Amino acid sequence: MILYIALDDTDMPTSPGTGRLAREIALHINQKYTVLGITRHQLLVHPDIPYTSHNSAAVLHLTGVQDESLDSLFDEIAEIIKTKAAEGSDPGVCMAFHDQVNPAVVIFGKDAKSMILTKDQAMTLAMNSGIRLLGLGGTNGGIIGALAAVGLAASGSDGRYIQVGTIRDLHGEADVKEILKAGISSIISADGKRVSEGRIRFRKFPQPMRIQNTPILLVREIDGVWVVDRRD
């Protein structure tokens, strides 16, 4: 069963982002567990919501974690976040198996994309759902985004992958076959065409969307060239 571990609000304007910390954690725990990927989930950007630059949270997708390992794994990751989070940040961490993520948690995640939510709402929902949720410093405001990101990840169709397979080994442009081999399930154009040949340009590395629990790369043809169509 898939285990989601989400972190939010771990950075400051001059520090590495939450996605970077998520990748560090993945590298650390990959010695014991299988990290299937890391997704980035965009939340509401609003003047009344403190955030660093984009207000996005990161979720690690794991498998092979047994019930008896949950407490020690959660404590281990919480300690890493406490140690690595930037001074002045308000980090939060959330952990849940897929079947713990009930519809209310999914709705909470979707609401976090369009409205202001509170820490009390997050803690009450997590407690009633049997989901681990913990603030790790500052105002602990990151618990809102962490729980929301778990709900969004479990929904199966939100966010984009910042790590899956070997996508981070590709830079700037690559052949379709290389991209598919790197761990992206399929490449689809804006008009629904399946792209099976040619070259595709992208910024940094190809970041597929998470659609129906699968990494799908959306592309658009501009002046005869395929380019990645990023939505968030």
Q: Distance between alpha carbon 220 and the CA centroid of its chain, in Å?
A: 23
Same domain, 145 and 127: yes
Same domain, 17 and 131: yes
pLDDT at 69: 86
Here the CATH number for the domain that contains residue 139 is: 3.30.70.2200
Which residue in 216, 79, 206, 196 sits closest to 134, CA to CA? 79
Same domain, 132 and 192: no
Distance CA(167)–CA(210), nearest Å, equals 14
Structural domain for 11, as ranges: 3-160
Residue showing tokens 């994309």: 113
Distance CA(90)–CA(181), nearest Å, equals 38
pLDDT at 216: 96
Same domain, 133 and 222: no
Same domain, 45 and 122: yes
Of 160, 181, 203, which residue sits at a domain end? 160
Distance CA(217)–CA(8), nearest Å, equals 25
Same domain, 100 and 208: no
pLDDT at 223: 84
pLDDT at 13: 57
- Please give the model's pTM, rounded to 2 decimal places: 0.91
Distance CA(126)–CA(101), nearest Å, equals 9
- The one-character DSSP state at 102 is -
Q: Which helix (H) or strand (E) holds 176?
A: helix 176-181
Contact 158, 189 (CB under 8 A): no
Looking at the DSSP bridge assignments, the partners of residue 65 are none
Looking at the DSSP bridge assignments, the partners of residue 196 are none
Where the chain has pLDDT below 70, the residues are: 11-15, 45-54
Same domain, 132 and 176: no
Same domain, 19 and 68: yes
Same domain, 98 and 200: no
Same domain, 90 and 150: yes
Same domain, 26 and 127: yes
Quote the number of domains for the chain: 2
| Radius of gyration, CA atoms only, the chain | 17
pLDDT at 45: 59
Same domain, 75 and 175: no
Of 160, 182, 214, which residue sits at a domain end? 160
**Counting beta carbons within 10 angstroms of the beta carbon of residue 72, is it exposed (0 to 12), middle (13 to 18) or buried (19 or more)?**
exposed
How crowded is residue 96: how many other Cβ atoms within 10 Å of its Cβ?
26
Of 111, 143, 160, which residue sits at a domain end? 160
Q: Residue 92 phi/psi, 5° resolution?
A: -140, 155
